[in-house]
A and B are shown apart, each in its own frame.
Chain A
Amino acid sequence: MDKDLFIKLSNVSKTFPGVKALDNIQLEVKKGEVHALIGENGAGKSTLIKILAGIYKPDEGATIIIDGKEYQSLTPILSLRQGIVVIYQDFSLFPNLSVAENIAISLDIEQDNKFLNWKKLREVASKALNQLGVDIDLDIPLGKLSIAKQQLVAIARALVYDAKMIIMDEPTSALSKGEVELLFKIIRSLQQRGISILFVSHKLEELFEVSSRFTVLRDGKYMGTYNIDEIDSDKLISLMVGRKVEYTRYGADKIGETILEVRNLCKKGNFKDISFELHKGEIVAITGLVGAGRTEVAQALCGINVPDSGEIILEGKQVKINSPEEAVKHGIAFVPESRQTEGLIVRQSLEDNITLPIMKQLVGRLSVINFSKKREVAQQWIKALNIKPPYPNMLVQQFSGGNQQRIVIAKWLATNPKVLIIDEPTNGIDVGAKREIHLLIRELASKGMGIIMISSELPEVLAISDTVLVMRRGRITGRFDGNNVTQEEIMNKAILNEKAPVTA
């Protein structure tokens, strides 16, 4: 094996029940190299990180060679002992403990000490911070530091582990421009000391600044590794998005009058200057990367996340929506991303779930529930949305993902909304059922409802939306006619910084 290589993975696959998350991946990281791992949401980056960290075991037949030694799989301890340290997006730090402890306590745990030598602990911590060339008070609780400084603490901890390769998962997502510069400076100094960095990110302009090689994943498949001089951002994007799954397009037959208009909606730390219109019969897709502020906008429209400023105009009248209850009264319904935890009460029956938001209409005199009417309503929606099996008494958790999604949609349709907001409508649903959900959404629109669909799946966006809004870092960076847009165009707006176009 090449002496310059720190780690070489080949034939790495990972199968979960029903899904092949990784399919025959390879990856090589040289000593002292900054290597970028890129791919869309769901491309398999996180799964690969977990295999490197020893949390997941790859399928049979994988080889992992670290510093010349060959393994079939890793365990968390083995991975750490080989010097592979992952800095997760949440850093895995302790807000209530001092900076010194956060950096160095893992050493004591590893040595199985019973007592803590504070002097030594502070020495180890301050040495690690010195190596990074940063000055942070060792004694203050970590929670009092800015996110950027917490990240430096996480990197210092990695040094204490004697890291040979540091994996950074979206390290710049919460940093300002100046903080990113400092991080890059530190990454370069780590590189000079022979430490490899695997940099996982969506932000192409940043990747081009620090990385020397790129490995691209798409739908769990290896799309190749490229040197910085043989690739540019257009090529990277086409490698990332060229998905095989394509749906036949169903656009709107006719779009009616404006039902909802949003003007300059702002909320500090969430989104800025959001303006768009939604018409009867129209499906507006809001797409972009996870963390771009899409869900926050949707939550602002349904009263969960009240905006700081801006106007929401519903059927020509300006409205204020301060709670989900008010949103429902105004005819805005929200189907959240996680069916299991936010959308449904999975241990109750289909009927109980569907009728929950309209309970007030089902009570008779003395506030007693009219059970026959309740059953009738449930039956009606089971039929309308073709929920299978059609048993009102069956517990929600016993239905398949696709049918659970129909149940959530039914639940909100029962409130007779004018505007339906659906967050990631086909998340975790198998391919056939996805198609049916798309058709259902299109059918609802054609009956005159205005629909806002938040989706990361570009084929889905292209299949049914009439207008596509792309968000990036809290703003709308692209607006397209759904009839006339490509995945590449959308991805460009989602990941590239307009102000500083990147050419390799």
Chain B
Amino acid sequence: MKRFVKSKEMGILLIIIVISIIISIGNSTFLRPDNIIDMLKGNTVLGIMAMGMLLVIITGGIDVSVGAMVAAVTVLVGKFMVNFSGNVLLAFIVGCLCGTIMGAINGIFIAKLKIPPIVVTLGTMSIINGLMLYYTNGTWINDIPESFINFGKLTLFKIPNGQGGMIGVPIQILFLVIAALVTWVILKYTLIGRGIYAMGGNPVSAARIGYNLDKISIFLYSYMGFVTGLAAVVHTSIMRQVDPNAFTGFELQVVAAVVLGGANILGGAGTVLGTLLGVLLLAIMNNGLILMHIPVFWQKIVVGAVIIIAVSIDVIQRKHAEKNLTKVDIE
């Protein structure tokens, strides 16, 4: 408990509380259960993808192809459902498989050819975008099967909506919870998860004690692809249609959420709880600014400024520590 009070997560939580208070003073609907549920539902996709990005960023890497990847999977799953089957389980299997394959391709290039992650993923981003434009011509897929649309309307349980009625908690949130739990178990209890931290902290030593860094890289970029595929299907269940251009620039939001959540962009540090809080912070800033009728461009400026401030604090702390490092022990 003492540790939590001093942790980065606590700092983010404080910021969230302060911002929430400010917004709810400006607009009382902000804290109403129906608004909160809408806000969460609208950010499950971001949250699920942030879980994959967390692993990538802990190793000091980055994946900018996730926006293109998630769009591509929505198109592939949409076409699959329209042409073959409206089976929900099949849709998830196809989505996750497509995502995993795309992620694995990133991972193989990064691990085996030692090309910097930003270069590989910029390349795959452009290739995927190009292929999708060729395939869809930018047209939407509207005729999603009824069975899948009904699945998307399911709710887990009902809670009071604060105005005397009841409101259901949408099923999509369950997927975020599952993704967060699985990621937490990977990071905390598996050897490969600890290897991800080790690789981010000191790659040379990680290799020296017997970690196979190539294997770790391929695993984590594949996992990034896997959760991206999952997020794509969840997204389709929310929107009930497919817009091939819905995710332009989305990769930056995913990276932003993870960085806001206290993960170190230089590698080595980051937690599932922090990332969830980062997603929440981003969601609140977006939602709150809309409720307060602040123009959209301010959202972007504020989010950008917060990210730069967060990363600057990390870098300044590290530089300060380096400066005070004793090079020679003077007698």
Are A269 and B268 touching (Cβ within 8 A)? no
A105-158: which have CB < 8 Å to B?
105-106, 108-110, 113-116, 118
Q: Give chain A residues whose Cβ lies under 8 Å from the Cβ of B192.
A: 114
Contact partner, A269, options B194, B206, B325, Cβ 8 Å: B325
Q: Give chain A residues whose Cβ lies under 8 Å from the Cβ of B256.
A: none
Closest to A499 in B: B331
Q: Give chain A residues whose Cβ lies under 8 Å from the Cβ of B200.
A: 96
* Known A113-B191, A115-B190: A270·B209 in contact at CB below 8 Å: no
Does A425 reach chain B (CB closer than 8 Å)?
no
Does B29 reach chain A (CB closer than 8 Å)?
no
Contact partner, B328, options A96, A106, A176, A270, Cβ 8 Å: A270
The interface stretch among A276-284, A288-296, A430-438 is A288-296
Most buried by B among A116, A473, A497: A116
Shortest CB distance B322–A (Å): 11
Contact partner, B208, options A92, A116, A268, A293, Cβ 8 Å: A92
Does A242 reach chain B (CB closer than 8 Å)?
no
Q: Give chain B residues whose Cβ lies under 8 Å from the Cβ of A35.
A: none
Does B269 reach chain A (CB closer than 8 Å)?
yes
* Known A109-B191, A115-B190: A95·B328 in contact at CB below 8 Å: no
* Known A93-B205, A96-B201, A110-B210: A175·B194 in contact at CB below 8 Å: no
Shortest CB distance B191–A (Å): 6
Are B201 and A114 touching (Cβ within 8 A)? no
Ranked nearest first, the 8 interchain pairs of A and B with the lowest CB-CB distance are A474-B330, A269-B326, A96-B201, A92-B205, A94-B201, A293-B328, A96-B268, A474-B328
Does A386 reach chain B (CB closer than 8 Å)?
no
Does B17 reach chain A (CB closer than 8 Å)?
no
Are B327 and A270 touching (Cβ within 8 A)? yes
Shortest CB distance B124–A (Å): 28
* Known A269-B324, A292-B328, A474-B328: A109·B201 in contact at CB below 8 Å: no
Q: In the docked arrangement, what's the CA distance between A475 and B194, Å?
A: 43
Contact partner, B197, options A96, A271, A292, Cβ 8 Å: A96
Q: Give chain B residues whose Cβ lies under 8 Å from the Cβ of A457.
A: none
Does A238 reach chain B (CB closer than 8 Å)?
no
Are A106 and B210 touching (Cβ within 8 A)? yes
Are B201 and A97 touching (Cβ within 8 A)? yes
Q: In the docked arrangement, what's the CA distance between A101 and B188, Å?
A: 11
Taking Cβ atoms with an 8 Å cutoff, the residues of A that contact B are 76, 92-97, 101, 105-106, 108-110, 113-116, 118, 173-176, 268-272, 291-293, 296, 473-475, 497
* Known A92-B202, A92-B204, A94-B197: A475·B330 in contact at CB below 8 Å: yes
Q: In the docked arrangement, what's the CA distance between A297 and B209, Å?
A: 36
Are A96 and B269 touching (Cβ within 8 A)? yes
Are A291 and B328 touching (Cβ within 8 A)? yes
* Known A94-B198, A97-B198, A106-B210: A272·B330 in contact at CB below 8 Å: yes
Does B211 reach chain A (CB closer than 8 Å)?
yes
Are B327 and A269 touching (Cβ within 8 A)? yes
Q: In the docked arrangement, what's the CA distance between A268 and B68, Å?
A: 51
B180-216: which have CB < 8 Å to A?
188-194, 197-198, 200-202, 204-206, 208-211
Q: Give chain A residues whose Cβ lies under 8 Å from the Cβ of B325.
A: 269
Q: List 15 A-B contacts (CB under 8 A).
A: A92-B202, A92-B205, A94-B202, A95-B201, A95-B202, A105-B209, A110-B210, A115-B191, A176-B329, A269-B330, A291-B327, A293-B330, A296-B328, A474-B328, A497-B331
Q: Give chain B residues whose Cβ lies under 8 Å from the Cβ of A473.
A: 328-331
* Known A92-B204, A94-B205: A269·B210 in contact at CB below 8 Å: no
* Known A101-B194, A115-B189: A94·B331 in contact at CB below 8 Å: no
Q: Give chain A residues whose Cβ lies under 8 Å from the Cβ of B327.
A: 269-270, 291, 293, 296
* Known A109-B191, A115-B191: A271·B202 in contact at CB below 8 Å: no
Q: Give chain B residues whose Cβ lies under 8 Å from the Cβ of A93.
A: 202, 205
Are B202 and A116 touching (Cβ within 8 A)? no
Q: Give chain B residues whose Cβ lies under 8 Å from the Cβ of A101.
A: 194
Q: Give chain B residues whose Cβ lies under 8 Å from the Cβ of A175.
A: 329
Closest to A177 in B: B331
Q: In the docked arrangement, what's the CA distance between A105 and B188, Å?
A: 13
